[in-house]
């Protein structure tokens, strides 16, 4: 079943390369999708400024760490929900 999620995602600021800015998107997904799936879809369909890392997609490499609503998670292992805010982990 398709549904539309509204997500906010941090992207590098066009005005200052050391800052990030949030952009909001509506994205249609099929069934349950991980945060990684949503980031990929956003990149492919909506905004090429989105930056993310994807390698193992099995929870092994930890390279896809992001903050979702202020909590550190693995994007490939976390289900996406409408209303989430996604930003990179910058202090590792």
Stretch that binds ligand FES, among 6-14, 21-29, 41-49, 53-61 (CB under 6 A): 53-61
Regarding 7 and contact with ligand FES (CB under 6 A), the answer is no
Listed ranges 6-14, 22-30, 59-67, 82-90: which one lies at the site for ligand FES (CB under 6 A): 59-67
3-state secondary structure of 90: coil
Which residues share a beta bridge with 76? none
88 contacts ligand FES (rule: CB under 6 A): no
Query: Would you say 23 and 9 are in contact if contact means Cβ atoms under 8 Å apart?
Result: yes
Cβ proximity to ligand FES: between 54 and 88 the closer is 54
The single residue among 55, 69, 72, 89 that binds ligand FES, judged by CB under 6 A, is 55
Question: Distance of CA 30 to CAs 22, 36, 53, 75, 87, Å?
Answer: 24, 14, 22, 17, 23
Please pick, from the candidates 8, 40, 46, 57, the single residue that binds ligand FES as defined by CB under 6 A.
Answer: 57
Taking the C-alpha atoms of residue 87 and residue 65, their distance in angstroms, rounded to an integer, is: 9
């Amino acid at each position: 079943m398709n549904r539309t999620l509204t997500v906010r995602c941090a992207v590098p600021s066009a005005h200052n390369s050391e800052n990030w800015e949030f952009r909001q998107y509506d994205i249609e997904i099929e069934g349950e999708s991980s945060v990684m799936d949503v980031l990929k879809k956003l990149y492919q369909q909506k905004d090429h400024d989105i930056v993310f890392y994807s390698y193992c997609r099995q929870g092994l490499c930890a390279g896809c760490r992001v903050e979702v609503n202020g909590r550190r998670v693995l994007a490939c292992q976390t289900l996406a929900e409408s209303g989430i805010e996604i930003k990179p982990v910058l202090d590792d």
